[in-house]
Amino acid sequence: MQPLTNKIKQVDRKPMTFMEKLYLPAIFKGMTITFSHIFKKKPTINYPEKQRPFSPVFRGLQILNRDEEGRENCTACGLCAVACPAEAITMEAAERQQGEEHLYKEEKYAAKYEINMLRCIFCGLCEEACPKDAIYLSETFTPADYQRKQFIYSKDDLLIPHPKENPDAYQKALGNRPQKVSEN
């Protein structure tokens, strides 16, 4: 048969030499390589005591953003849900009432917002689609759990801590990445 590439290597079928038949030199050669690694720098780290720095484009657990006054940015426009290739995001919208202006930024808000983390593939398309700066993928892993039902993340799980009531937690949630400068 005509070979498709020139990368074909004929297998060497010569009988073994005396040194090869002894086996021991090859074993010692292998063991030296193995033992030499003991003195090399370890590439593994002891997670979670030690953690690697995140890459600036790391996509982790979603957070729902608030503005400086602590109002929720999300208006339940549904663009994240329609962009989501895994169909992980669902929401239900409600109208802001009198006296709720300090809670929600716009006239309409997400009364319910859910991300099914069993479905989420962390592609970041929701963040890309969001016109209101409301959803971000943070530098956190989704914690493991024993039960499936723990992976349906509701608004309570996703919302960033209140910047005024809980400033330390808010700063921590913002992470170390450079913040995107808002245009408005």
Partner 1 sequence: MLHCGLCVKECLEYLRMEEEIKTIKVTIDNITIDVAPGTTILNAARQIGGDVTPPAMCYYSKLDGSGGKCRTCLVEVAAGSAADPRPMPKLVASCRTGVMDGMVVKNITSEKVTDARNGVVEFLLLNHPLDCPICDQAGECHLQDLGYEHGKEGTRYQFARRTFKKEDIGPYIQLHMTRCILCYRCTYVADQITQKRVHGVIDRGDHAAISTYISKAIDNDFSGNMIDVCPVGALTDKTFRFKNRVWFTKPVDAHRNCTTPGCCGKATLWLRGEEVFRVTARKDQWGEVQSFDGKPGWICNTCRFETKKTESWTVEGITTISRHSVIGLNKYKTLEMPKETVKAVMKGTDPKLLMDIHSVSGVNKPDTHLSELDRAAKSDDFKNN
SS3 call for 6: coil
Cα end-to-end span (Å), the chain: 68
Does residue 106 touch partner 1 according to CB under 8 A? yes
Does residue 158 touch partner 1 according to CB under 8 A? no
**Region near partner 1 per CB under 8 A, out of 14-22, 25-33, 79-87, 169-177:** 79-87
Pick one of 20, 22, 25, 100: the residue that binds partner 1 (CB under 8 A): 100
DSSP labels, 101-134: TTTBSSSEEEEEEEEETTT-----HHHHH-SSS-
Between the alpha carbon of residue 61 and those of residues 26, 94, 108, 144, 165, the distances in Å are: 49, 25, 25, 12, 22
Which residues sit opposite 63 in a β-bridge? 136
Q: How far is the CB of 69 from partner 1 (least distance, A)?
A: 19
d(CA 26, CA 43): 27
73 and 64 Cβ atoms separated by less than 8 Å: yes
Does residue 126 touch partner 1 according to CB under 8 A? no
Does residue 87 touch partner 1 according to CB under 8 A? yes
**Interaction pattern, residues 7-46, with partner 1; x per rule: CB under 8 A:** ----------------------------------------
Pick one of 19, 25, 28, 95: the residue that binds partner 1 (CB under 8 A): 95
- What DSSP state is assigned to residue 42? P
Pick one of 59, 108, 162, 177: the residue that binds partner 1 (CB under 8 A): 108
Query: Which residues contribute to the site for partner 1 (CB under 8 A)?
Result: 75-79, 81-82, 87, 90-95, 97, 100, 106-108, 111-114, 116, 131-132, 148-149, 152, 154
